[in-house]
């Protein structure tokens, strides 16, 4: 809400400068968004009148003018094509400040010029502010302001404060509401305009029109006045300037008056050309399915039964609270009007304006729910201004349909409770005086407060506490630290600690943490090579997404990690390692909410390979003490290279996959060919990590090492060889270390050589060679039997 | 013979002067002290001496031997030291060359800020609560005193899954879930991801993060809220930080406030970062609305509470002077490395 300060001053004395005012209002609850000074950097620009105009002897396009600027007559050489003798124009005198710089005396083709006639561009104004200004050329005043007067005064180029009005305070969407807040904040007087309507028209409004409301839930009050002998013309300068400064474009006297009253009193008004209302009956009803209306902006709007319209007997003439219809618009031909002042259901207006896509000054007010007690004062104010401006004759009487007059709300003022909630010690008398200024009716015996009708936000004592606190100033409340409260221990849960530990390990293993979006596009399924009925395709779908790319909740983090790699790869970052701990979302049949599963995603590209990724995962398992993890070949995960993917499990629980991304998938996501990704469930890792630690004694007896190289079929897994060795090695086998796998010369085709270093040790004695040889014999025998492994000669 | 011994000693000393390396030293040793050395040959000639002279000369020979051996030992030590010095001199390396390239990763700036926030509140006795991101409309709105068609829903344009399920627009639903389950005293913070239907640009993201705080107990006051936020702001933004509260409207708190901190760049004098206001808005806060307490089965006559919430992105952008929110979700390594 934009409020020109000079307008606000009509209703309240302001005894502080504008910055102080902005600060004080902000801390009392009317947040100042911006202060705009329309006259900023304009000085010494005054009203002048052209008294003579002569040709320039040496230039066809220039004219030499004598301009009366009040105290003197100055000579100005101008090239403006649109000025004539007798015109009143803004004149920047020598030494004037303009947004474009200072003005100096000049010589134009040998003739001295002591000033400049200004266009609105030169004054940094727009056509929205001065709609009657010519597109090119100097601005010409439409009236005859006093010569020599400062144009800032004439054009209302003064400071405007823009307030952020919260949705609970529709009363502050008005100059009067803001003035009331200002008066209490500054402790000065609040002055309402005196509203008197002379009603010089003939007959009675009820002779011309009747009103019926079909559903009082949707409109609690509808009041109308009629005006005859209407004379449509521009509204006076002062009104136009105020409207423009508040951000509304002046149109004509009737429309401007309705807008003026809306800005002043917070009650949107509408004027219909009564001639266009058939049957002299205004009906407030729901729109019919299939009904349409062309609104004032020339657009045809389709209506539905959830929308409220103002209609006559035959047709809708306005979308209630949103915008009027073209069919009853005020035109220069209008002779008789109907003025509407009404309240509509806020939620309904909000939905309608959203559906239709119009958010007008009126709808932004209506949707917050307006005060039905303000309807008649606003209607009368409108009538009063019409009379004052000679825009028409107001017919005596008001047609007022008020089916749902609300009961006044009462709340008891309990000063102790308020002080208790705020942690303050504010006197009861101070509170009472405050509520009186806020126009609550205070019954001192019972301490019962009647809430004014315009404060629908005040319903319980906590609301009273806020009123007290904001005028006491929140910042005057003494800060304390839960002195009276129960003491608590702050700590992370085991899972939270483990998650931090996992992240810490990822960092120390050289991975950078990423944050990616948790919604994605259903297109990623095909790019991931997921078959049609794949389980991951079953996702939580957003009904109103920001586009297809963000339309489902992800069921896997692979596409986002590939996205990270793509970004870096495309930007010529040579290699990268990343991790993220985040959720995937899996719908659960017959349940409202999906399962949200936390996963660890690791992504690598560049100078790296499968075993580097596996090393990271293994090192993580070491650090969080998981010793029953298993990696088994996985050929069927469609997104991974079938020969370079492992299913990871802990005990009997599968926790995810690691591997090289399938080259086709990598290419679909514009990633390098060798891209490695692991996705592992966090919860089973935490459940299976054993963080209970216990010391076991250091070895006292020497170890005996044996190296063996085995020749096995190429397809035999190292994992299976390990299992046999561990199984047959007996208690004395301390460590099994694979140190070489070799294929090629000296190894038969289709076979490979696998070399191990085995360490034997006993905890209670020095081993003798025979014991170790016996264990080795067992191992080799079993390897031969089970895996057809032979010792390499 | 005495004379002879003196000559040997003198000659040896003269030779020691010229010794350059171990090899020549060894040669000298053999020449004088070896089995066929000159001193040894004198000892061999002792047979010709009288019984009286023998011990005297023997003593003299031993003295000279000792003297020579000592000298050899000294020269040996000297030679070794020299050799080491030479080696050390040869082994000099360019210590200005870079160290071996080791890699540890970096925490994302959002996590760094989140961790700091968590640390402050853990230290003040808060626990960390979590809740679902895909959330019931009831928890995200209704229970927070935001019924259907409430205008406050406009400012939080939501993503809907269906009429009953939304992507949470705030972390506040976690408050409700905790209050439903746990009796006061409650002291929690709820960090988490939230969703609003804002297109991506330099200052908006449809996904961002909040940290919500909630305290419910007997006798909790607005003064407690202000004190808590002061401690928080000083911890996060520095000891000299001030806070300013402005009345605001949130349906789930009453009184409600927006909270500014004094600008971390200029300290409140006004600069580009704070748009010359000296203050930067960082938090929303207030006393828990009695209706919300009631909805969760907590008697507002006995208990009161405060709640606050802040945006992690905005805080991180302020702290690290990041001018475009998109950078936080692009995960460009060159960006991530800077934190």
Per-residue pLDDT of A29-68, as tens digits, reads 999 999 999 888 899 999 999 999 999 888 888 999 999 9
Phi-psi region of A347 (alpha: psi -120 to 50; beta: other; left: phi over 0): alpha
What pLDDT sits at residue B155? 59
**Closest CB to B215 among A482, A506, A516:** A482
Lowest-pLDDT choice from A196-200, A570-574, A693-697, B156-160:
B156-160
Evaluate whether A37 touches A159 at the Cβ level (below 8 Å): yes
CB pairs < 8 Å spanning A and B: 241
Rounded to a whole number of angstroms, the CA Rg of chain B reads 43
Query: Residue B269 — very low, low, confident or very high, per pLDDT cuts 50/70/90?
Result: confident
Q: How far apart are CA A131 and CA B57, in angstroms?
A: 134
Chain B contacts of A420, Cβ < 8 Å?
Answer: 219, 221
Pairing, β A512-513 against β A441-443: unpaired
Query: Residue B101 — very low, low, confident or very high, per pLDDT cuts 50/70/90?
Result: confident
What pLDDT sits at residue A132? 83
Evaluate whether B79 touches B21 at the Cβ level (below 8 Å): yes
Q: Tell me if B107 and A503 make a contact (CB, 8 A cut-off).
A: yes
Q: What is the pLDDT of residues A91-126, one digit of tens each?
A: 999 999 998 889 898 888 889 999 999 999 898 888
- DSSP bridge partners of A159: A37
Strand locations in A557-703, DSSP E?
A: 576-586, 595-605, 629-633, 640-650, 653-661, 675-681
Q: What is the pLDDT of residues A318-367, one digit of tens each?
A: 999 999 999 999 999 999 999 999 999 998 999 899 889 888 999 999 99
Q: How far apart are CA B227 and CA A625, in angstroms?
A: 42
Chain B contacts of A543, Cβ < 8 Å?
Answer: 159-162
Evaluate whether B135 touches B143 at the Cβ level (below 8 Å): no
Closest Cα in chain B, distance from residue A466 (Å): 4
Residue A483 has pLDDT above 80, yes or no: no
Nearest 5 degrees, angle CA A196-CA A197-CA A203?
Answer: 155
Q: What is the pLDDT of residues A123-182, one digit of tens each?
A: 888 888 888 888 888 999 988 899 999 999 999 899 999 999 998 999 999 999 999 999
Q: Which residues of A55-74 are buried (b: 16+ CB within 10 A; e: fewer)?
A: ebeeeeebbbbbbbbeeebb
Q: Tell me if B124 and A346 make a contact (CB, 8 A cut-off).
A: no
CA torsion A174-A180-A182-A186 (nearest 10°) is: 170
Q: How far apart are CA A780 and CA A782, in angstroms?
A: 5
What pLDDT sits at residue A554? 97
Instruction: Record the tokens describing residue A242, joined without a space.
Output: 């105020």
Instruction: Say which DSSP state A161 is in.
Output: E
**Closest CB to B206 among A550, A553, A564:** A550
Question: Looking at the complex, does the CB of residue A101 fall below 8 Å from at least one CB of chain B?
Answer: no
Chain A contacts of B150, Cβ < 8 Å?
Answer: 347
Q: Residues of A numbered 477-496 whose beta carbons fall under 8 angstroms of chain B's beta carbons: which are they?
A: 477-493, 496
Considering chain B, what is the average pLDDT of its residues?
90
Residue A503 has pLDDT above 90, yes or no: yes
Q: How far apart are CA A665 and CA A265, in angstroms?
A: 63
Evaluate whether B306 touches B287 at the Cβ level (below 8 Å): yes
Residue B46 has pLDDT above 80, yes or no: no
Residue A484 has pLDDT above 70, yes or no: no
Q: How many CA atoms lie within 13 A of B117 on its CB side?
A: 29
Q: How far apart are CA A679 and CA A645, in angstroms?
A: 12
Q: Residues of A numbered 353-412 whose beta carbons fall under 8 angstroms of chain B's beta carbons: which are they?
A: 367-368
What pLDDT sits at residue B47? 76
**Tokens 């004509």 belong to residue:** A252
**Tokens 């398992």 belong to residue:** A621
User: Of B4, B74, B58, B52, nearest to B32 (Cα)?
Assistant: B4
**Closest CB to A481 among B118, B197, B228:** B228
What pLDDT sits at residue B154? 63
Strand locations in A248-351, DSSP E?
A: 269-273, 281-286, 292-294, 300-302, 308-311, 316-319, 323-324, 337-344
Q: How far apart are CA A343 and CA A696, in angstroms?
A: 81
Chain B contacts of A597, Cβ < 8 Å?
Answer: none
H-helix or E-strand containing B290?
Answer: helix B290-295
Evaluate whether B181 touches A377 at the Cβ level (below 8 Å): no
Instruction: Record the tokens describing residue B47, joined without a space.
Output: 């047979």
CB atoms under 10 Å from CB of B48, counted, come to 9
Pairing, β A576-586 against β A512-513: parallel
Q: What is the SS3 assignment for A709?
A: strand
H-helix or E-strand containing A264?
Answer: helix A253-265
Q: Residues of B numbered 18-47 whose beta carbons fall under 8 angstroms of chain A's beta carbons: which are they?
A: none
Instruction: Record the tokens describing residue A343, joined without a space.
Output: 């309240």
Q: What is the pLDDT of residues A748-771, one digit of tens each?
A: 999 999 999 999 999 899 999 999
Q: How far apart are CA A143 and CA A148, in angstroms?
A: 14
Mean pLDDT of A456-476: 96
Evaluate whether B210 touches B310 at the Cβ level (below 8 Å): yes
Instruction: Record the tokens describing residue B40, joined without a space.
Output: 């040894």
User: Of A556, A269, A223, nearest to A397 (Cα)?
Assistant: A223
Q: Residues of B numbered 313-332 whose beta carbons fall under 8 angstroms of chain A's beta carbons: which are they?
A: 328-332
Lowest-pLDDT choice from A133-137, A417-421, A481-485, A752-756:
A481-485
Query: Residue A288 — very low, low, confident or very high, per pLDDT cuts 50/70/90?
Result: very high
3-state SS of A163-187?
Answer: EECCCCCHHHCCHHHHHHHHHHHHC
């Amino acid at each position: 809400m934009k409020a020109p300060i000079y307008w606000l001053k009509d209703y309240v004395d302001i005894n502080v400068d504008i910055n102080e005012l902005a600060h004080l209002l902000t801390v009392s609850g009317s947040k100042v968004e911006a202060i705009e000074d329309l006259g900023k950097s304009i000085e010494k620009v005054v009203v002048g009148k052209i008294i003579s105009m002569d040709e320039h002897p040496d230039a066809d396009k220039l004219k030499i003018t004598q301009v009366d600027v009040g105290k003197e007559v100055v000579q100005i050489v101008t090239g403006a094509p649109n000025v004539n003798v007798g015109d009143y124009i803004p004149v920047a005198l020598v030494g004037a400040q303009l947004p474009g710089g200072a003005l100096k005396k000049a010589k134009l083709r040998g003739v001295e010029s002591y000033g400049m006639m200004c266009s609105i561009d030169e004054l940094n104004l727009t056509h929205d502010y001065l709609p009657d200004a010519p597109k090119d050329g100097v601005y010409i005043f439409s009236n005859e302001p006093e010569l020599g007067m400062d144009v800032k005064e004439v054009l209302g180029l003064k400071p405007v404060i823009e307030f952020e009005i919260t949705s609970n305070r529709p009363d502050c969407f008005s100059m009067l509401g803001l003035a009331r807040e200002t008066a209490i904040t500054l402790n000065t007087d609040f002055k309402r305009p005196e509203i008197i309507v002379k009603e010089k028209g003939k007959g009675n409004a009820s002779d011309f029109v009747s009103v019926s409301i079909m559903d009082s839930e949707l409109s609690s009050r509808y009041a109308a006045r009629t005006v005859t002998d209407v004379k449509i013309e521009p509204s006076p300068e002062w009104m136009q300037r105020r409207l423009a400064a508040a951000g509304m474009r002046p149109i004509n006297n009737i429309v401007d008056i309705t807008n003026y009253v809306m800005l002043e009193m917070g009650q949107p008004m509408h004027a219909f050309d009564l001639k266009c209302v058939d049957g002299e009956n205004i009906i407030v009803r729901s729109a019919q399915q299939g009904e349409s209306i062309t609104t004032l902006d020339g657009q045809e709007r389709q209506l539905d039964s959830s929308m409220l319209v103002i209609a006559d007997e035959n047709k809708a003439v306005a979308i209630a609270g949103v915008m009027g219809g073209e069919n009853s618009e005020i035109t220069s031909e209008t002779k008789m009007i109907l003025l509407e002042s009404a309240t509509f259901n806020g939620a309904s207006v909000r939905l309608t304006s959203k559906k239709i896509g119009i958010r007008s000054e009126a709808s932004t007010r209506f949707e917050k729910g307006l005060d039905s007690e303000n309807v008649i004062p606003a209607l009368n104010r409108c009538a009063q201004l019409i009379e004052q401006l000679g825009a028409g004759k107001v017919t005596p009487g008001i047609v007022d349909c008020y089916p749902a007059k609300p009961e006044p709300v009462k709340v008891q003022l309990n000063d102790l409770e308020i002080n208790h909630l705020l942690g303050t010690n504010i006197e009861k008398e101070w509170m009472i005086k405050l509520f009186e200024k806020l126009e609550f009716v205070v019954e001192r015996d019972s301490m019962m407060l009647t809430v004014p009708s315009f404060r629908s936000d005040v319903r319980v004592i906590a609301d009273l506490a806020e009123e007290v606190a904001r005028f006491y100033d929140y910042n005057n409340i003494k800060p304390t630290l839960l002195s009276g409260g129960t003491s608590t221990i702050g700590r992370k849960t085991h899972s939270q600690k483990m998650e931090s530990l996992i992240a810490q390990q990822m960092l120390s293993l050289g991975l950078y943490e990423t944050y990616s979006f948790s919604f994605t596009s259903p297109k990623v399924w095909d790019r991931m090579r997921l078959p049609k009925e794949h389980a991951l395709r079953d996702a939580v779908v957003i009904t109103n997404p920001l586009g297809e790319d963000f339309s489902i909740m992800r069921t896997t983090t692979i596409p986002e990690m590939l996205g990270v790699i793509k970004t870096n790869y495309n930007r010529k970052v040579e290699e990268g390692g990343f991790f993220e701990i985040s959720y995937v979302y899996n719908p659960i049949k017959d349940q409202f909410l999906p399962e949200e599963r936390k996963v660890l995603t690791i992504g690598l590209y560049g100078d790296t390979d499968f075993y580097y990724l596996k090393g990271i995962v293994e090192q993580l398992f070491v650090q969080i003490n998981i010793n029953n993890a298993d990696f088994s070949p996985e050929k069927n995960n469609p997104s991974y290279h079938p020969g370079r993917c492992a299913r990871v499990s802990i005990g009997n629980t599968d926790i995810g996959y690691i591997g090289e991304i399938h080259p086709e998938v990598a290419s679909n996501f514009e990633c390098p060919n060798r891209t490695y990704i692991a996705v592992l469930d966090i919860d089973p890792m935490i459940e299976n990590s054993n963080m209970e630690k216990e010391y076991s004694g250091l070895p006292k007896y020497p170890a005996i090492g044996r190296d063996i190289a085995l020749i096995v079929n190429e397809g035999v897994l190292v994992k299976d060889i390990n299992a046999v060795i561990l199984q047959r090695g007996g208690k004395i086998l301390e460590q099994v270390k694979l140190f070489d796998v070799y294929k090629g010369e000296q190894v038969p085709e289709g076979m490979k050589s696998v070399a191990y270093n085995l360490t034997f040790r006993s905890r209670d004695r020095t081993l003798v060679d025979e014991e170790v040889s016996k264990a080795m014999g067992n191992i080799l025998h079993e390897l031969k039997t089970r895996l057809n492994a032979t010792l390499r000669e | 013979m005495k004379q002879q011994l003196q000559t040997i000693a003198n000659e040896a000393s003269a030779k020691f002067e010229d010794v350059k390396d171990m090899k020549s030293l060894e040669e000298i040793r053999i020449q004088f002290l070896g089995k066929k050395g000159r001193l040894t040959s004198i000892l061999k000639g002792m047979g010709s001496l009288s019984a009286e002279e023998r011990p005297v000369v023997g003593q003299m020979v031993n003295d000279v031997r000792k003297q020579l051996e000592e000298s050899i030992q000294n020269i040996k030590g000297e030679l070794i030291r020299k050799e080491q010095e030479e080696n050390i001199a040869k082994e000099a390396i360019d210590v200005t060359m870079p160290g071996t390239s080791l890699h540890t990763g970096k925490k994302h700036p959002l996590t760094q800020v989140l961790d700091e926030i968590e640390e402050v509140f853990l230290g003040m006795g808060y626990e960390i609560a979590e809740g679902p991101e895909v959330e019931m409309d009831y928890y995200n709105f209704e229970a927070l005193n935001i019924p259907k068609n409430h205008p406050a829903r406009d400012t939080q344009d939501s993503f809907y899954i269906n009429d009953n399920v939304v992507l949470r627009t705030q972390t506040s639903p976690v408050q409700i879930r905790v209050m439903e389950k746990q009796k006061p005293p409650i002291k929690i913070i709820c960090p988490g991801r939230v969703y609003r239907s804002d297109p991506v640009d330099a200052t908006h993201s449809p996904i961002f993060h909040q940290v919500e705080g909630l305290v419910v107990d007997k006798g909790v006051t607005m003064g407690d809220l202000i004190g808590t936020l002061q401690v928080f702001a000083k911890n996060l933004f520095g000891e000299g930080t001030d806070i300013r509260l402005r009345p605001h409207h949130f349906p789930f708190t009453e009184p409600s406030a927006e909270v500014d901190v004094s600008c971390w760049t200029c300290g409140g004098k006004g600069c580009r970062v704070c748009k010359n206001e000296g203050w930067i808005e960082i938090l929303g806060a207030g006393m828990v609305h009695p209706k919300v307490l009631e909805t969760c089965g907590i008697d507002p006559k006995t208990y009161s509470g405060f709640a606050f919430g802040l945006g992690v992105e905005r805080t991180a952008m302020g702290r690290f002077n990041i001018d475009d929110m998109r950078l936080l979700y692009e995960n460009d390594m060159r960006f991530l490395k800077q934190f």
